[in-house]
Amino acid sequence: MTRPVVGIIGNQHLINDTYEVHAGGSMNSEAVATVSCCLPLLIPADPRFVSVAELLDTCDGFLLTGGRPNVHPEEYGEEATEAHGAFDRCRDAITLPLVRACVERGQPFLGVCRGFQEVNVAMGGTLYPEIRDLPGRMNHRMPPDGTIEEKFALRHMVSFAEGGPFHRLFGASEVMTNTLHGQGIKRAGARIVIDGHAPDGTPEAIYVEGAPGFTLSVQWHPEYNAANDPVSRPLFEAFGDAARAWAAGAAPVRRSA
């Protein structure tokens, strides 16, 4: 049986600081292949090589991955500062219009970390460059030392709106998640519903109100240990169901209020 194709947004990367590649974490491919039960396809997110139209025709859904470079602040009307970190303008040029096209068409996507932030910016929202500098906020960044297991360890609770799509999906109003991000939502974009928050008020889960398809996006990294984590698994399973429905030509699987 042919599996639906999930395009995994890749990131620009330098091997040994010299050799340019487009890269994607293997845990993203593993989550898509083994939990969503879809065919993972790594996308070189660069408008010189691919177009949004081609991607929409080729893939049945998209995983908007995390990545060290951040969305360039010019995309939401602000000037770049040192606090904004590194950028990937080529990825911006692909993912932001891709998100808007998927929302319009009902084509499913799952946003993760940077992908979560891309969804907000694509819909007209803004970002804080460094949320740990805000009064009352915790440090959500990846711990600088330790093993992969320690870096991706569960670190804080996320609380969801009662009866919202995340509450319904997880069967719980609170879950424990990892946290590995520096930026966060400042102003929600048009139709962006913030459905989950960390204890310090940082937005952690969103969806696009009224979108005909799957638009769930999270600030944490559910791709880590996705097959075994009780929060990650239902999220990737639901995303896989949405991609299968799209591939079959069925009505889009809506995940909203």
What domains lie within the chain, and their CATH numbers? Answer: 5-247 (3.40.50.880)
Q: What mean pLDDT do residues 170-199 have?
A: 96
Would you state the pLDDT for residue 253? Answer: 65
Q: Which of 65-69, 115-119, 244-248 has the lowest mean pLDDT?
A: 65-69
Q: Which residue has the tokens 């093993």?
A: 147
Q: What mean pLDDT do residues 218-224 have?
A: 97
Q: What mean pLDDT do residues 136-153 have?
A: 89
Would you state the pLDDT for residue 143? Answer: 84
Task: Please give the model's pTM, rounded to 2 decimal places.
Answer: 0.94
Q: Output the DSSP codes for the chain.
A: -PPPEEEEEPEEEEETTTEEEEE--HHHHHHHHHTS--EEEEE---TTT--HHHHHHH-SEEEE---SSBPPGGGGT----GGG--B-HHHHHHHHHHHHHHHHHT--EEEETHHHHHHHHHTT-EEES-GGGSTT----SPPSSS-HHHHTS--EEEEE-TTSHHHHHHTSSEEEE----S-EEEEPPTTEEEEEE-TTS-EEEEEETT-SS---EESS-TTTTTTT-TTHHHHHHHHHHHHHHHHTT--------
Would you state the pLDDT for residue 203? Answer: 97
Q: Which two tokens stand for residue 149?
A: 């297991």
Would you state the pLDDT for residue 256? Answer: 56
CA 152 to each of CA 111, 149, 175, 178, 179: distance values in angstroms, whole numbers, following the listed order = 17, 5, 15, 6, 7
Determine the angle formed by the axes of helices 89-105 and 114-122, rounding to 10 degrees. Answer: 70
More confident residue, 12 or 257: 12
More confident residue, 21 or 92: 92
Question: What is the C-alpha separation between 227 and 216, in angstroms, rounded?
Answer: 18
Q: Which of 120-129, 138-147, 167-176, 246-255 has the lowest mean pLDDT?
A: 246-255
Is pLDDT at 254 greater than 80 in this prediction? no
Q: Write down the mean pLDDT value for the chain.
A: 94
Q: What mean pLDDT do residues 184-209 have?
A: 97
**Residues with catalytic annotation?**
113, 221, 223
More confident residue, 139 or 121: 121
